[in-house]
A = this chain, B = another copy of it.
Amino acid sequence: MRVSRLQAEENRQTVINVASRLFRERGFDGIGLKDLMKGAGLTQGAFYKQFASKNDLVAQASKRALDSALHRWSAAAAERPQDPLGAVTDFYLNMGHCAERADGCPVVALGSDVARQDADVKAAFEAGIKEYLALLSGWIGESEADGDEPEGKAMAMLSTMVGAMVLSRAVNDEQLSKQFLQAAADSVLAASPASNAAQGSRQ
């Protein structure tokens, strides 16, 4: 029954990856260790040789989810280097993202729950959120030390994007969902100093 150290580490990574998806889909309290381990092809008994507690996995899976989401942002931006903000708003603020919770933004899928988690989990989200802000700041040409409101515009943009996704997922009316995403995209692009320059390439 024992497997090699390499295989054990691979299994551990699989559990974290599976958890990062299943937590986003069902919530931290919405899935038990038995089903999480089953999703990784293991049984529940193996869990506590790999993690200290469920909370330990919650923290690690949160970090994994944020890393994965940031990677997707960077990839989306890289596909349209002359207009990274437009590329990311297109990528983020659409109905596909609204329907696909497991692979979507972890702040949207778990933000409300994170407020009720301990400092370890919040630390994972805080680190990821700071990276989101750094990306946005760079794309809108915001200096990071130009006054008492560092990254203020980036913070407002991220808030608008996260809020629009949360709202669009909280209603039944699909038309209303779309309108939230469209209104957020309009607002974010209008607030970017670079938006006029990039407008041509977006049209």
Could you list which residues of chain A lie within 8 angstroms of chain B, going by C-beta atoms? 25-27, 29-30, 101, 107-116, 119, 122-123, 125-126, 129-130, 149-153, 155-156, 158-164, 166-167, 169-173, 176, 179-180, 182-184, 186-187, 191
Contact = CB atoms under 8 A, between A and B. Distances in A.
Contact of A163 (B115, B159, B179): B159
Which 3 A-B pairs have CB atoms at the shortest separation, nearest pair first? A163-B163, A159-B163, A156-B187
Contacts of A151: 179, 183
Nearest to A116: B27
A107 B170 contact: yes
Contacts of A129: 167, 170-171, 176
A29 B32 CA distance: 12
A129 to B, nearest CB: 6
5 contacts: A107-B170, A129-B171, A151-B179, A155-B164, A156-B160
Contact of A182 (B27, B108, B149): B149
Given A25-B116, A114-B170, A163-B164, 6 more contacts: A126-B173, A129-B171, A152-B186, A158-B163, A159-B187, A162-B167
A173 B124 CA distance: 12
Given A149-B179, A164-B155, A171 B122 contact: yes
